[in-house]
Amino acid sequence: MEILGTTLRICVDDLEAPVAFYERLTGTRAQRYERGGISVAAVGCFLLMSGPESELEVLRKVSATIAVRDLDEAGAALGAAGARIIVGPMATPAGRNLLALHPDGTVFEYVDLRTDA
């Protein structure tokens, strides 16, 4: 499995002030989208999320987002190494993702940025 990068997940009450801060910090513009009642802003390696507390509570359980070249390959490698796929793979606005529970109890989101998702 080829890992391309990691995104840090940050849950916030309101996106506007944090987005402005991270745009200044990284020198990049936020890419924004909505998903399941959650407002998301991707700014460089930071993924800011805001929404109902019941939704954020679930999102806080995911330690990080890991970008991979091929999600199918990642899923197979995770399973072979002893991880359990708990959600997905499924289409997202940016490609496809899955959630994996590692044997140590940590949950990670894995994503690919395929254009044919």
Q: Please report the pLDDT score of residue 94 as a whole number.
A: 72
- pLDDT tens-digit series, residues 27-66: 999 999 888 889 999 999 999 999 999 888 888 999 899 9
Give the single-character DSSP code of 106: -
Which tokens go with 71?
A: 């999600």
| Sequence spans of domains, the chain | 3-112
Can you read off the two tokens belonging to residue 6?
């990691």
Q: CATH for 3-112, among 1.10.10.10, 3.10.180.10, 1.10.3720.10, 1.10.357.10?
A: 3.10.180.10
| Contact predicate 59/107, CB 8 Å | no
